[in-house]
Homo-oligomer: A and B are copies of this chain.
Amino acid sequence: MTAEPRPAADPAPHTFGRPVARVEDDALLRGRARFVDDIHLPGLLEAAFVRSPHAHARIRSIDCEPARAAPGVVAVMTFDDLRDVLTSDRLVVAMPSPSYLLEVHRPILARHETVHVGEAIAVVIAASRYLAEDAAALVEVDYDPLPVVADCHAALAEGGARVHADLPHNVVAELDTAYGDVDAAFAGAAEVVEDRFWLHRGGSHSMECRGVVASLDPLEDRLTVWSSTQTPNVAQRLLCDLLARDSDAIRVVTPELGGGFGPKLVFYPEEAVVAASAVKLGRPVKWIEDRREHFVVTTQERDQHWEMAMALDAEGRVLGMRGSLLHDHGAYTARGTNVVFASAITVPLAYNVPAYRLASKLLLTNKVPVTPIRGAGQPQAAFVMERLLDQAARRLGLDRAEIRRRNLVQPEQMPCRKPMKLRGGTFVVLDSGDYPAAQRLVMEKAGWDDFPRRQAEARAQGRHIGLGLVNYVEGTGRGPFEPVRVRVAANGRIHVASSATAMGQGTKTMLAQVVAEQLGGAIENVVVTTGDTAAMTLGFGGFNSRQAVMAGSSAHAAAVKVRAKALEAAAHMLEARPDELTIVGTHIRMRGNNRTIGLGEVARALEGIAGYVLPGNLEPGLEATEQVIVHDMAFSNGSAVAEVEVDVETGHVQVLRYLLAHDCGQMINPMLVDGQVIGGIAHGIGNALFEWMGFDANAQPLTNNYGEYLLVTAPEMPSIELFHRESPSPLNTLGIKGVGESGVIPTPAVIASAVEDALQPFGVRISHAPLSPMDILDLIARADGA
């Protein structure tokens, strides 16, 4: 089903649409790539943080003196010690939303109250991390423990504890999503199904933890901050505000990242403290998050409790849905309401749901804040929708595929406007795609129709296999823009600069392919700079599967401009017409003869180096900056089938096969798409079966290492079969849609569906994730008893 790559502008070797090798890999494989912790500067100091052991406590006093006397210590600082270089004691990072009831901005360093375990209270700067850690243990903080809110339900309890002692309640925001006449839908329903769902907290667990290095150049009075951030441009603006420095006086760079997955898009107290310390001390400072810190202070997600009902007619057509969502927000607003927003609009998105009402509450708890992680609320929504569809199918005696087929948005509805609005104010519009075809494709590949026979055979042998089927859409390509500059230098090298941020997913390769396609096809001639505010001031960075859509479109537009200008200038220099010329490799060739001119030579002429006149009276410079503006989202879609086997004695679930028919529009590099999707599936399997961030009743984290917190490893991974469809998005010239979060969205739902299918003999209903072996055994036991 893979469509032909769009035609290239000239007969140079295609790079667009092909699985070309990643430009990042040479440096990575040779160990020459530089991650934050690889940054070594003369006189570098290292930071360790004094962190709260309590989920909620008043801070009576902080005594830094014993620590200050420790060996190798340069400074031990609370907020009061840093206040002269900071303009605020809080990080005001919340995305705008009318839904907030409370403002709970995160403190840079907690002063009078601490509201989650791990919250930073003081920083120790020393000659090494070891000495800093030793001294941090000597800081004496006198705590007065306060009542703790450990989960959403406790947060809502009448007369219960408060997450912040001085706040009137724990409801940080309320969000209502509604359209259609829901009550009429339920009144006229032939069937209603309903359930409660719960998806537990997990983390992103990037291979590289977070880190930040800050260094003040005394010569130029410029602060450079290398941070493991997905959004260096946003971090720069925040740091400019916090440190009262001009935008030219702070440079934020994202070096190589060992994974992002969402939590690294947040601006953290450590970034502010390390930057402020470097300014205050006039020496470079480094902090590298250790894995234990990652478990308690890097943001997490998923934690949502749903109650949802679905009304259907007798043929299984959905008439309406209504319900409520309790969302664990954690102790502060570290990003916004967007996880809940995404959850809320995603539930009915792939299907025709005429009426819908969801009341969502974002609840404070004494836990580390919740911000988007790959999928960002969408896996939960898919879980809720797809679990209810399975239940309805069973109730109505329909095949699970058939009920979906009857409800799916049809290709002839595209573009399909949904009666819900994005936060920018535009309607949600599914831009393109053939959802039923994707479902048919994956069913055919999975042998859906033959499965009941195989399942019956297996059951006869005492084996419990099951098949799940799930459709999903993914909102991608969040706007409004992401600038890219393409410049041909005098030596012929093509420099691409973008505020897009590489986190390991191949962003540089993506940009190089898009640009090389227009400028000769020699991808090795393209030098890409990402995530450096000195190279690109405007922009946002990486989140919401947006970079291929937004930066890719800008890169294409800029490369097209540069190409046209190069040909026009070369035409003047070669005394030819532009349409007689083409770019092959590093040279512009005239068709039909041997006349060529180097791209660098043309660039040199356009820089005015050669004399007093520019070729063809063109504007100077072989360069263009473009920032394509997009307000609508490009919706990827797909259909997943998982086959599992459940050991009913041990509760062990083995995922045997995983098939995904996936459509992210025109693919720039199918190999990178595969990598993104497979990574997302692995993450989703973790969410479905393993990853469980536990807290006790005092909100003390229970799972702070990989002995307790289970990640998917190779033996747990099934064989994965991907089938690409390419329905070009009409929203951008390249027809692309985002892909970074796709794999994870259907996975908890499809595995739950498959497990439930496998356990039909026991009448088990799956309504939560992750499903541990103990959960399986418990479900079987309870279903048996029922």
**Which residues from B are CB-within-8-Å of A9?**
none
Bitwise, A340-361 to B at CB < 8 A (1) or not (0) is 0000000000000000000000
A489 to B613, CA, bound (A): 34
Tell me the residues in window 96-111 of chain A with beta carbons closer than 8 Å to chain B beta carbons. Answer: 96
**Which of the four size classes fits the interface of chain A?**
35 or more
- How far is B96's CA from A34's CA once the two chains are assembled, in angstroms? 43
* Chain B residues positioned under 8 Å from A607 (CB to CB): 237, 538
State how many angstroms separate the Cβ of A64 from the closest Cβ of chain B.
Answer: 30
Report if A491 contacts B (CB, 8 A).
yes
CA distance A638 to B703 in the complex (A): 84
A246 at the interface (CB under 8 A from B): yes
A727 at the interface (CB under 8 A from B): no
- Asked if A480 and B608 make an inter-chain contact with CB atoms under 8 angstroms apart, the answer reads yes
Q: Which A residues between 446 and 498 are near B, CB-CB below 8 angstroms?
A: 478-481, 483, 487, 489-491, 493, 495
Q: B614, A480: Cβ atoms under 8 Å? A: yes
Nearest Cβ in chain B — how far from A561, in angstroms? 14
Check B611 against A527 for contact (C-beta < 8 Å): no
Instruction: Give the interface segment out of A180-188, A380-388, A422-430.
Output: A422-430
Does A85 sit at the interface, judged by CB under 8 A? no
Q: Which of A569-620 contact B (CB under 8 A)?
A: 604, 607-614, 617, 619-620
**A49 interface residue (CB < 8 Å to B):** no
**B241 and A620 contacting across the interface, CB-CB below 8 Å:** no
Given contacts A246-B491, A248-B529, A490-B237, contact A613 B631 (CB under 8 A): yes
Among A34, A493, A620, residue most surrounded by chain B Cβ atoms (within 10 Å): A620
Q: Closest Cβ of chain B: how far from A41's Cβ, in Å?
A: 7
In the bound complex, what is the Cα–Cα distance between A40 and B612 (angstroms)?
37
Bound together, the chains give a CA A537 to CA B387 distance in angstroms of 57
Complex-state Cα separation, A715 to B499, whole angstroms: 59
Asked, given contacts A219-B39, A487-B537, A538-B620, whether A424 binds B247 with beta carbons under 8 Å apart, the answer is: no
Q: Chain B residue with minimal CB distance to A527?
A: B246
Check if A612 sits within 8 Å of B480, measured CB to CB: yes
Q: Is A629 an interface residue when CB atoms closer than 8 A count as contact?
A: yes
Q: Determine the chain B residues whose CB is within 8 A of the CB of A219 once the complex forms.
A: 34, 39-41
- Which residues of the partner chain B approach A487 to less than 8 Å between Cβ atoms? 537
CB-contact partner of A527 in B248, B604, B627, B629, under 8 A: B248
B619 near A627: Cβ-Cβ < 8 Å: yes
Contact A613–B537 (Cβ < 8 Å): no
Q: Is the CB of A629 within 8 A of B610?
A: no
Q: Could you tell me if B246 and A424 are in contact, using CB atoms closer than 8 angstroms?
A: no
The answer to whether B96 and A611 touch across the interface, beta carbons within 8 angstroms, is yes
Helix, strand, loop or mixed for chain A's interface?
loop
Contacts of A247 in B (CB 8 A): 489-491, 493, 495
Q: Is A168 an interface residue (CB 8 A)?
A: no
**Shortest beta-carbon distance from A568 to chain B in Å:** 15
B-contact bits for A701-735, CB 8 A (1 contact / 0 none)? 00000000000000000000000000000000000
Bound together, the chains give a CA A770 to CA B248 distance in angstroms of 49
Docked CA distance A635–B96 (Å): 55
Give Cα distance in the complex from A424 to B614, angstroms. 9
Given contacts A627-B619, A629-B619, contact A613 B480 (CB under 8 A): yes
How far, in Å, is A127 (CB) from chain B's closest CB?
A: 17
A621 at the interface (CB under 8 A from B): yes
Known: A607-B538, A611-B424, A619-B629. A495 touches B41 (CB 8 A): no
Residue in chain B with minimal CB distance to A608: B480
Known: A529-B248, A612-B423. A240 touches B491 (CB 8 A): yes
Bound form: Cα–Cα A537–B490 in Å: 11
Closest residue of B by beta carbon distance from A253: B220
C-alpha spacing A627/B623, complex, angstroms? 13
- Tell me if A95 counts as interface (CB < 8 A to partner B): yes
CB neighbours of A268 from chain B (8 A): none
Within 8 A of B (CB), among A528-548: 529, 534, 537-538, 540
Contacting residues, chain B, for A537 (C-beta < 8 A): 487, 621, 623
A42 at interface (Cβ–Cβ under 8 A)?
Answer: yes
With contacts A527-B248, A627-B620 taken as known, whether A612 is within 8 angstroms of B479 at the C-beta atoms is yes
Evaluate contact between B42 and A42: CB separation under 8 angstroms: yes
B491 touches A423 (CB 8 A): no
Distance between Cα atoms of A614 and B621 in the complex (Å): 28
1/0 per residue A651-691: CB within 8 Å of B?
00000000000000000000000000000000000000000
- 14 further A-B contacts with Cβ under 8 Å, apart from A246-B489, A481-B608, A538-B621, are A240-B490, A241-B490, A241-B491, A247-B490, A247-B493, A247-B495, A248-B495, A424-B613, A480-B613, A480-B614, A481-B614, A481-B620, A614-B629, A619-B627
| 9 residue pairs, one from A and one from B, having the closest CB atoms | A424-B612, A247-B489, A424-B613, A96-B611, A538-B621, A481-B620, A423-B612, A480-B608, A246-B493
Q: CB within 8 Å of B: which residues of A? A: 34, 39-42, 95-96, 219, 234, 237, 240-241, 244, 246-248, 422-425, 478-481, 483, 487, 489-491, 493, 495, 527, 529, 534, 537-538, 540, 604, 607-614, 617, 619-621, 623, 627, 629, 631
Q: Could you list some 17 contacts between A and B, CB below 8 A?
A: A42-B42, A237-B604, A240-B490, A246-B491, A246-B493, A247-B491, A422-B612, A480-B608, A483-B620, A538-B608, A540-B608, A612-B631, A613-B631, A614-B629, A617-B629, A619-B627, A619-B629
